[in-house]
Structure 1
Amino acid sequence: MTALALVAALLGAPKAAAFSISSPQGVDVASWQHPGGAAINWREVSASGHRFAFVKATEGIGYVNPFFVADSKQAQNAGMLIGSYHMARPNSSATAQAAEYAAALATQPQPSLPPVLDIEYAENLGPAQLSAWVREFVTEIERLTGRKPIIYTYRYFWQENMANTSEFSDYPLWLAAYENRPPSDIPGGWNHMTFWQRADNGVVPGMVTVSDVNLFNGSEQQLNDFSAGIDVNLGEVLTAGIDLDAIGGRVAELEALGNNNRELVGAILAVAAGALAIGALVAVAQSQGIDLGPATELVDRVRGLIASGDLPVPDLQTMLQTGEYTIGDLLILLENAQHFAEQIG
């Protein structure tokens, strides 16, 4: 333990009051943000107020993001704190995936944020099998890197596919929750988020496509301390509202995305069953507060998933039956289904 870490441990790290306009914001990127090989202007990203960047490193076995090293170096050179993540594919060895991720991390400039396990695909594994897989991965990546990893997930996946286990609540949480206020219904026994992915359609200067945008639950100094391995007490569930427009990065529909998704899910299932014309889905989405453009994008995604046979009907039926998930949770599920069908990127 360093002298600085010892002082923090003895005195107690300050708590973050809430996500606020001073909360460091950041992006996470993969090859999707490089359509046609287009570059990201990381100096523009940094100048727009983004303080950290998670760059996809690996997925499953045998895939390394071809932009991982360049994005990491350029983001760091632009003054940003960098991180990385591994996209889990639980149908193959967790130990082997951790090893490939650790090897990729050895090529990333330092210092960096802790490694991240992105777990949002079940690949036909049940909750007990998935928990065992996650346990194996986080244990191995911590052994290989000496750092406690962050777990990235979203509510529907953790509650339904992981049976809402609280086994991993000692690991930092990065939660995807597309809505206008920090969510209070955090799964898995966690009492706070370390990072909050608040939207997937942020318009960020320096990028030719939209990007996932995130907030850190604390101050910039606490973010630096967290990256350095110093214990940071980020407090408990945060419910205070914040002005997301003031934080930067235009994001549409967040108020609507926090609404219950039951009516929209029911309409999608009706379309899949042939009981509703897909064109009518636009009107249903608009009735839920989604503007015409995003509503049309949603319908196009549903149409494509139906055509390819990849619409996640059992998951949609679960969402309809439970009635406790948001439109944002639905969009994450549909986006994941599309990406899974398209494989890696």
Structure 2
Amino acid sequence: MAFARLPDRRPVRRIAASAVALALGGLALAEVPAAAASKPIGNDVSSYQGNINWGSVHGKGGRFAYVKATESTNYRNPYFAQQYNGAYKAGMLRGAYHFALPNKSSGKTQAAYFVRHGGGWSADGKTLPPALDIEHNPYSGGSCYGKSAAGMVSWIKSFSDEVNRRTGRRPAIYTSTQWWNTCTGHSRAFAAQHPLWLARYGSSPGPLPAGWTFWTFWQYNDHGKLPGDQDKFNGSMTQLRRLAKG
């Protein structure tokens, strides 16, 4: 990434995870929470993980992966091809995500950059919908990127519309309940068409962002038996394949 002080978003999540661990009395939540123990597991990765042995990931039970493709309009994950194609070749479902910086350019512009550099979708039954990672600002400009709630909702809609126009799929939205409710003003505008990828490290998903009544993916920890962040799908493998097919 072009930002020298933070080579990827992973260190930010480490800080968040540490804060959660402290709030829970220092409990290290590396195991699959009981609330999601029977559901398919997966992981999400970025350049922080480098080249990955996806055969090993599949052997440990990993059934899907999300791979960081882009950030803003000036960063591409240099390991994207190995990570994205490697997961596919290992028999896992895979998808790509974009880390949003709404204060840098429009949603439409960042969506176009994302789709051009890995954020596409095909109805092959193994490609998950593209995903928008929109969360606390790891750089300068305030947690909400200097935008009003209405401005943030407009930005997300612009991103979603462009991804949909280019791929035929609405993106999943990765976010936390606190960030979403604060920075979109409790917007309910996206729940009907956008799968929720919930970020919450803990033993249960907890309250959901405004509008959503269930989570589709849940990132419950930043470490575990799979490389990168640990995720669960809220359904069966049959349902996960159905989501991939659109």
Q: How many Å apart are 1:108 and its aligned residue?
A: 7.8
1:21 is aligned to 2:37: yes
Query: Which position in structure 1 is the counterpart of 2:129?
Result: 114
Query: Which position in structure 2 is the counterpart of 1:126?
Result: 148
Q: How many Å apart are 1:176 and its aligned residue?
A: 0.5
1:225 is aligned to 2:237: no
The residue type paired with residue 174 of structure 1 is W
Q: How many Å apart are 1:161 and its aligned residue?
A: 1.3
1:169 is aligned to 2:191: yes
Identity %: 43
- Work out whether residues 55 and 72 of structure 1, in 8 Å CA contact, stay in contact via their aligned partners in 2: yes
Residues 18-40 of structure 1 deviation map (CA, whole Å, 9 limit, x = unaligned): 96433110000001112xxxx21
RMSD: 1.8
Q: Distance between the aligned counterparts of 1:20 and 1:118, measured in 2? A: 22
Q: Distance between the aligned counterparts of 1:192 and 1:61, measured in 2? A: 31
Q: How many Å apart are 1:163 and its aligned residue?
A: 1.2
Q: How many Å apart are 1:201 and its aligned residue?
A: 2.1
Residues 63-83 of structure 1 deviation map (CA, whole Å, 9 limit, x = unaligned): 111111111111111111101
Query: Which position in structure 1 is the counterpart of 2:179?
Result: 157
TM-score normalised by structure 1 residue count: 0.56
Q: Which has the higher contact order (CA 8 A, sep 6+)?
A: 2
- Work out whether residues 67 and 97 of structure 2, in 8 Å CA contact, stay in contact via their aligned partners in 1: yes
Partner-residue secondary structure (3-state), 1:98: helix
Q: How many Å apart are 1:93 and its aligned residue?
A: 1.7
Partner-residue secondary structure (3-state), 1:117: strand
- Work out whether residues 19 and 217 of structure 1, in 8 Å CA contact, stay in contact via their aligned partners in 2: no
- Work out whether residues 72 and 108 of structure 1, in 8 Å CA contact, stay in contact via their aligned partners in 2: no
Q: How many Å apart are 1:166 and its aligned residue?
A: 0.8
1:190 is aligned to 2:215: no
TM-score normalised by structure 2 residue count: 0.78
Structure-2 change in CA distance of 1:61 and 1:160 (3 Å) = same
Structure-2 change in CA distance of 1:108 and 1:158 (3 Å) = closer
Q: Distance between the aligned counterparts of 2:176 and 2:221, measured in 1? A: 12
Residues 73-101 of structure 1 deviation map (CA, whole Å, 9 limit, x = unaligned): 11111111101101111011211111111
More helix per residue: 1 or 2? 1
The residue type paired with residue 222 of structure 1 is Q
Q: Distance between the aligned counterparts of 1:52 and 1:227, measured in 2? A: 10
Query: Which position in structure 2 is the counterpart of 1:244?
Result: none
Out of 43, 46, 66, the residue aligned to residue 55 of structure 2 is 43
In our comparison, the structure showing a higher alpha carbon Rg is: 1
Query: Which position in structure 1 is the counterpart of 2:166?
Result: 144
Q: Distance between the aligned counterparts of 2:59 and 2:244, measured in 1? A: 21
